[in-house]
Amino acid sequence: MKKWFFTISSIVLVLGLGACGDEADDAAPDREADEVKEEENLEVGDVDNPNPSDMNGTGEGELSSATADLIDTNGKSVGVAELAEEEDGVRVKVNVTGLPEGVHGFHFHEIGKCEAPDFESAGGHFNPTGADHGLENESGPHAGDLPNLEVGADGTADEEFLVELVTLESGQDNSLLREDGTALVIHAEADDGKTQPSGNSGDRIACGTVEK
């Protein structure tokens, strides 16, 4: 009787150990899968900018920029203007040299063409809304009206300002990157901010087409 009891106990013990081994073997793949998933999540979390549209210069979040290489009435380069789209408008940074000392009218014009010596090819001021000219005019200004540019005794100017009535986004009525293009023009005299159609700012002494 004792012999049978020990025999049965041994069989039960062996079966129990086998079942535990099977359960351990079944759980191992699940643990491995969980570890792989955790590693993948960590790798994704380590990416600084997982959304391409949030990265500067890529995706839909990219902001537009443009430049205008300025030439004088002899066709000689006198500087450059750098344009950058911002939330509230377009930031314009202009750096010029070799111009007459004094205050000069400065505007965006409606055609992207600068033919020396008079630059009449650039057309009138950029004015998509049909407003009156002048930053001091109650019925203005033109979208292309800019603050005067002050050139020092050494013939240079290095200024920047925000232009709120224009954009570099294509397809917009006030876009500087329109089909006919636009141009930046510097005039011989100061713009008085109110006289039609260009503030008595005189001849055009420098011009640059706005290009992306």
pLDDT value at residue 63: 73
pLDDT value at residue 115: 98
With respect to CATH, is domain 63-211 assigned 2.60.40.200? yes
pLDDT value at residue 53: 37
pLDDT value at residue 195: 95
Nearest Cα to Cα of residue 209 among 99, 121, 141: 121
Can you tell me which residue has the tokens 């979040």?
A: 61
Beta strand 89-96 with 204-211 is unpaired
Mean pLDDT of 181-204: 96
Residue range 158-187, pLDDT digits in tens: 999 999 999 999 899 999 999 999 999 999
DSSP codes of every residue in 160-192 = EEEETT-B--TT-TTBSS-TT--EEEEESS---
Mean pLDDT of 138-165: 96
**Residue 28: band (very low, low, confident or very high) from pLDDT cuts 50, 70, 90:** very low
pLDDT value at residue 4: 44
Whole-number average pLDDT of the chain = 81
Nearest Cα to Cα of residue 127 among 137, 117, 116: 137
* Whole-Å CA distances, 118 to 16, 40, 74, 107, 151: 101, 64, 10, 15, 20
Residue range 48-98, pLDDT digits in tens: 444 433 433 334 456 799 999 999 999 999 999 999 999 999 999 999 999
Residue 199: phi, psi to the nearest 5? 70, 25
Residue 208 has pLDDT above 90, yes or no: yes
Neighbours of 148 (CB within 10 A): 21
Mean pLDDT of 103-121: 97
| 26/51: higher pLDDT | 26
pLDDT value at residue 87: 93
Q: Where are the domains of the chain?
A: 1-47, 63-211
| 60/126: higher pLDDT | 126
Facing residues of 78 across strands? none
pLDDT value at residue 138: 87
* HEC string for 119-146: CHHHCCECCCCCCCCCCCCCCCCCCCEC
